[in-house]
Each structure stands twice: as structure tokens, then as C-alpha cells.
Structure 1
Amino acid sequence: MRYTALLPLAAAATAFVIPDEAAAKELFIETEQKAEETLSSWWDRVPSVEDLRAYAEETFDDAYDAFDRQASKLTSNLPAIEIESEWSDFVSPSDYEKPGHGGHGHHGHHRAENLTVYEVIHATNFTKKFAALVDEYPEIVKTLNSTDANVTAFVPTDKAFEKIPDHHKKPPKEVIERILEYHVVPGYYPAGRVLAHHTLPTLLKEEELGDRSQRLRVSIGIFGARLNFYSKVVGVNMFTKNGVIHCVDSIVVTPPPADRLLSLFPSRFSTLLLAGEKTGLHRKEDDVTKGLTIFAPTNWAFQKLGPGANAFLFNTEKGLKYLKALLKYHCVVNETLYSDEYYGKPREGDEVDAENAQYHVDLPTLLEGKHLSIDIARFYGLITMKINGYTKVSIQDAVAKDGVVQVLDSVLIPPHERRGFWKEEDGEIEVDELIERLQPFVEPEWVGEL
């Protein structure tokens, strides 16, 4: 059986193009390093930007519509999942053993257990271009050829490289090296184990994550699996001497910073982006963090606060101070919480174990003294994240260069010492109540009468 992404959020911005014939015409990812600007020209096959954004918006809508409809079906089918292999003519018959002759793996899948991952990508008929790039980087060659530890490689087919115009300048070696590292996962992840995760650690160590592994996002649906919402897995479970290979139809490029990622979807996050600009809370170039978690309310989430609250927050000088406090409650720095991994320091009361069915963590926000209580429950590849006991993350794990974005359909408001948490089912929040809840976190000179 094949699978398609339930939550097809394009992890992209606007500097260079990622071809994906199955899911979209082309998607953009913006990078901020000068070296990566060179890469943008190498990938430059620019269709209409409006067409791309229209597609992104359409897929975002589909994510909400499809999630509830498909989740129950997927839950009932997960224990019996089998993934169809599309490795016809992957290597010549003499290079691999037929199923049932020992080693890792399952019946029905190809094997090349007398070869390493490195040797297999050279032997295959349609990963020659990826193999040629790997040859330029001795450390990656060593990793893929070593039998000291298992690795899992997500290998783009040669067709993925055909989307790159030949006449464009090749990007700097350090940029290509990062991209290659981003396709390799330490450890042994056959298809079944991949599908049980939302994110996977890669060889790429990201300075802005505290030198931790940059992660790949795995999306699962009824027609396929995708990496980072756009690169479709088209072949699985080529078992080798030192690991396993899966094949993808698009090159997976390292993700952009969180703010660039959000800027691709103005019809969804323009209110949040405007709030960051108005309050000065948006990320600055000289900011130094070791990871972050952004709980990003959509435009619809802000709209549900009501016109009065929005007018106060965005259109009054006093309201901007309250807006800044509100935004701080959605930001966690130096700690990155994915749905199945936590980059941070566990505190007393935390129960952090991504392999367990349930776990809990309290995250300190930028709002002084206020934490977010996060409960995560998982069943195979289905994971739910709930904040402060009731607010669900609607789109999980939009991986970013500097952390992760968790998308919300509700604005988080700090609890009141007597009233507790505000819930959207109570209706639009009154300005007086909003002020009362945020007043302890606003500078004294801004506290007073409207």
C-alpha cells in the first residue's frame, strides 16, 4: 500500500525551487546565507510565485479537511501496514540476494546485503547522480561505506536531479555537503520504523539547534509518505550490509529559519507576522539561540479573539505592549519540542520519552514565569499534541533551521489566578478580561485606564 501526506504543509520559502511532480509544480525555500543564494540560481526554474502560493494555500486547506477524515481510518489500518516496494531494476540480479536469505529485512523486499549503502547507490541504475555527489565528500563516503554502524539513506533518484537546469552555476561545496548530510539518518530505519515517527535525526548538525541533528519531517497518508511535506518516498527497504535505503522523488533541501517559513503563508500567518513587526519581537540577525519552538496561531485563531480585542491589540499604542506579552507566551527559546523528540533540559515533573505512548513536558516561554504544559500522546505514527490541557496543535513539526513551528488554530492566553484558562468556546474575549490576564506582564507605565 502507498501513502500520501495528511498534512501537506510545504516547508519552504522563496529563494530556490524544489521540484515535486506528484504533489506540486514547484515549491520554494528561502535561505539566508550568501552561499545559499548561489544555490538559488542553480535551482532557478521559476514559475509564477502566485501559482506557488496558491498551491501552498490549497494544500494547507486540505490538511485541515483531511486530518479528521483520515485519522480514524489510518489508526485502524496501522498495525497491518505494508509498504509496496518500487525498486524494480534497482540493482542487477547478481548484486542482491532474493528475500529470505538472511540478514535484516522482511519478506517481499529487495536485498543487497553483500554491499554497503555506498556501494548500492553506485550499483543502482537511477541514483548515479547522488552517488557522484557523495564521491566528492570523503567523510560522507566513509559513513555510507562503513560497517561499524548502520545508516538509513533517503536517496533522490536521478529524475530528481533532472529538474536542475544544467547551465546554472553549481553551489558551494559546503552547501552541497549540508544537503547530502540531510539525506542520511544514523541508525537502522526500515519503512515500518520510519512510519512510526514524525521526525528523524540526520547527520546534519545545526549550529542554531545547539549543534544537534537537524530533523526530517515524515508525513504519512493513504497514498504515500513524504519528507518535509513535499519529497515523496517512491521506493523502500533496500536492505544493505550496513543499513537500508529508501528512494525519494525530490531533493530534500535544508529548511529555512522559522520566520522565513511562516512568511510563505501570508493568508495564514500575516496577523502573526504583523504582530512580530509591530512589537519588535520578530527574530533579529544578531539573535543567538540554540533552538526554539514557535507555537504559531493562524489568522483564524486571532480572528476568534473578536474585533474588539484585535482592535485594542493592533491599533492602540497601549495595546501593543499587551500584544507583545501575548506573543511572548507563544515563544520558547533554547528548547525545541518536536512531536517525537525534545531538544532541551528536562525539569522536575517532566516525563520525556518520545518512544512512550504518552509524555509530558513544561516549556518556559519568553513571558516571565509562565510555562506551557504540553501533553503528547502517540499511537504508531499518529501523534497528538495538547497545550495547557485543551489546545491542540493542528499542524505538527514544521521543521526550521533554528527550531520548529507548531501551528495552532487558537491563540494561547495566560491563565488567570482565579478564572483559570480562557477557552474559545466561551466566546470572544472582552478587552477588559484580556487586559486583566496580561497586565502582570506589561511594564508598569503602560498599565492603567484605556
Structure 2
Amino acid sequence: MIISGFDEVVSFLNSTEANCTLFVPTNKAFEKALPEEPPMEQIRQWVWHHISPGVDPCEDQLPSWDVTLNFVAHITNSNIHATNGIIHVVDDMLSAPSPASDTLDYLSLGISTFNLGLNKTGVTNASDGILSSGGTLFAPTDSEFANLGFAANALLFSGHGEKYIEALLEYHIVANQTLFTNIYYAPGKEAEDRS
């Protein structure tokens, strides 16, 4: 068992004071992701990325079975109750969050105007640093930019409008605060359930 090599993880998972949600990859997921033995620190990071604070049953957080985590993993068995949390089995390894710019590039369909603005102004690099400790990025779609009209977009993406598009884009970044539809992670605090 991989986690047995990490005393702090075993202690955390055995504690009745720490309620958590554990995403456990299937054996096939491990075989696919770990064809050879990676360094112990990389394994430690992977293990911690599969543990989420709080108890999150699928019907509360993930109401649809058609849920993809980290763009590749699907929940194959859910809501396995434990004394200190809940377990969901996933068919692929979860990975550390990518920098915001990489995620936006991956999801570029429908937000290419927003991406263009981020790259043109350099806000992309700033957002990676700002969001590295947690944060939320609100990405307006191409149709929302189109609603501004041709003249406004022409100004925003011209040399004269660069400071305005930069300010507009920075307004869409909430640093150090992770917002979900019903959970709020404030800087350095536990999750606050808003359901």
C-alpha cells in the first residue's frame, strides 16, 4: 500500500479529528500513471492531492455521475463511508493543479478573447503567481466580449487600450480565495459551507 510509507498521511487518515474526502485511484490508474517508481516526494505530493478536507458525498458536491476531475478522472464508486470521512474511487490519478495559464489554454474553447487579453497584457504570468496559493479566476466568454461591441473591443486590444484591458482582466482574478458554488475557502481558514 503506497500510503503506508508516509507516517503523516497514515496518522491523518487514522485520526477521528480530521474528517476528509479521499479519492482513491484504481489499480489500473496506478499502473498507467506509475510505469516506474517515481521519487518519494512526488508520490507524497500525489497522495496529498487525493485528500480533500471535509466530507463531500457525491450527491452534495457532484450530483451527476458524468463528472470529470482533473480533466481525466471519473468517479467509478462513490460514497464509501469511513469513521472520519468518505471515499470515492476514481479511474485515474489526480494531479496537482496546473498554473492558471495552462488550464486556460486547455479550456480555450469559448474564451479565446480572454486568453488573448491575458497574453497581450502579461496578466497571465501575474495570475499564475497570484493563484498559486489558491484563488478564483472568472473567465468571460467570447460572446461576452462580443457584447461589448466592435468599438470597445478595438479600443481594449489597441495600444491605447492596453491599460484598460489589463485592469478589466485583473478584476476577474480573486487572489487567495477559492470560491465554488457552495464552498468558500478563505485565506488560511477552513472551508465554509454555503449550501
Question: TM-score band, normalised by the shorter chain?
Answer: 0.7 to 0.9
Task: Supply the distance in 2 between the matched residues of 1:287 and 1:149 (Cα, whole angstroms).
Answer: 30
Partner Cα separation in structure 2 for residue 177 and residue 194 of structure 1? 25
Q: Where does residue 293 of structure 1 map in the other structure?
A: 136
How much has 1:286 moved relative to structure 2?
Answer: 9.3
Q: Deviations along 1:294-340, whole A, 9 cap, x unmatched? A: 111122322232222222221x3212222222223222223332222
Q: Check the 8 A contact 2:99/2:128 in 1, yes or no.
A: no
Per the alignment, do residues 247 and 307 of structure 1 end up closer, same or farther by CA in structure 2, a change over 3 Å counting? Answer: same
Cα distance in structure 2, aligned partners of 1:258 and 1:292: 10
* 1:254 paired residue among 96, 99, 121: 96
In the alignment, residue 293 of structure 1 is paired with which amino acid?
Answer: T
Question: In structure 2, do the counterparts of structure 1 residues 230 and 318 end up closer, same or farther at CA, with 3 Å as the change threshold?
Answer: same
- Counterpart secondary structure, 2:162: helix
CA separation of 1:329 and 1:143: change in aligned 2, threshold 3 A? closer
Letter in 2 for 1:354: D
| 2:179 match | 337
Matched, 1:354 2:193: yes
Q: Which residue does 1:209 correspond to in 2?
A: none
Q: Which residue of 2 aligns with 1:4?
A: none
Q: What amino acid is the match of 2:31? A: E
RMSD of aligned C-alpha atoms? Answer: 3.0
Match 1:152 to one of 9, 14, 21: 21
Q: Which SS does the other structure have where 2:161 is aligned?
A: helix
- Within 5 Å, give how 1:20-419 maps onto structure 2: 132-147=1-16, 149-164=18-33, 166=35, 168=36, 170-189=37-56, 193-197=57-61, 219-221=62-64, 223-284=65-126, 287=129, 290-314=133-157, 316-344=158-186, 354-356=193-195
Runs (5+) with no aligned partner, structure 1: 1-131, 198-218, 346-351, 357-450
1:45-77 CA distances to partner (integer Å, 9 max, x unpaired)?
A: xxxxxxxxxxxxxxxxxxxxxxxxxxxxxxxxx
The alpha-carbon deviation at position 261 of structure 1 amounts to: 0.5
* 2:125 match: secondary structure: coil
Higher helix share: 2
Q: Structure 1 counterpart of 2:194, which letter?
A: E
In the superposition, the TM-score normalised over structure 1's length comes to 0.38
Q: Secondary structure at the match of 1:162?
A: helix
Conserved 8 A contact 2:101-2:128: no
Partners of 1:246 and 1:308 lie apart in 2 by 50
Maintained 8 Å contact 1:263/1:269? no
Instruction: Give 2:58's aligned amino acid.
Output: V
CA change 1:340–1:231 in 2 (3 A) is same
How many residues align structurally?
191
Note if contact 1:220-1:226 (Cα within 8 Å) is conserved in structure 2: no
Contact 2:21–2:52 at 8 Å: present in 1 too?
yes
Q: 2:100·2:124 contact (CA, 8 Å) conserved in 1?
A: no
**What's 1:422 paired with?**
none
Q: State the distance in 1 between where 2:71 and 2:128 align.
A: 30
Contact 1:232 1:250 in 2 (8 A): yes
Question: Aligned letter for 1:355?
Answer: R
Distance in 2, Cα, partners of 1:325 & 1:334: 18
Identity %: 39
Q: 1:280 to 1:249 in 2, by over 3 A?
A: closer
Amino acid in structure 1 at the alignment position of 2:75: V
- Show CA shifts across 1:238-268 (max 9, x none): 3445544321111111211212100113343
Q: Against the structure 1 CA distance between its residues 306 and 247, is the aligned structure 2 distance closer, same or farther, given a 3 Å change threshold?
A: same
CA distance in 1, matches of 2:186, 2:81: 34
Contact 2:23 2:51 (C-alpha < 8 Å) held by counterparts? yes
Q: Distance in 2 between matches of 1:244 and 1:343?
A: 20
Q: Deviations over 1:85-106 (max 9, x none)?
A: xxxxxxxxxxxxxxxxxxxxxx
Report if the CA contact (8 A) 1:182-1:252 is conserved.
yes
Structure 2: gaps (5+ residues): none
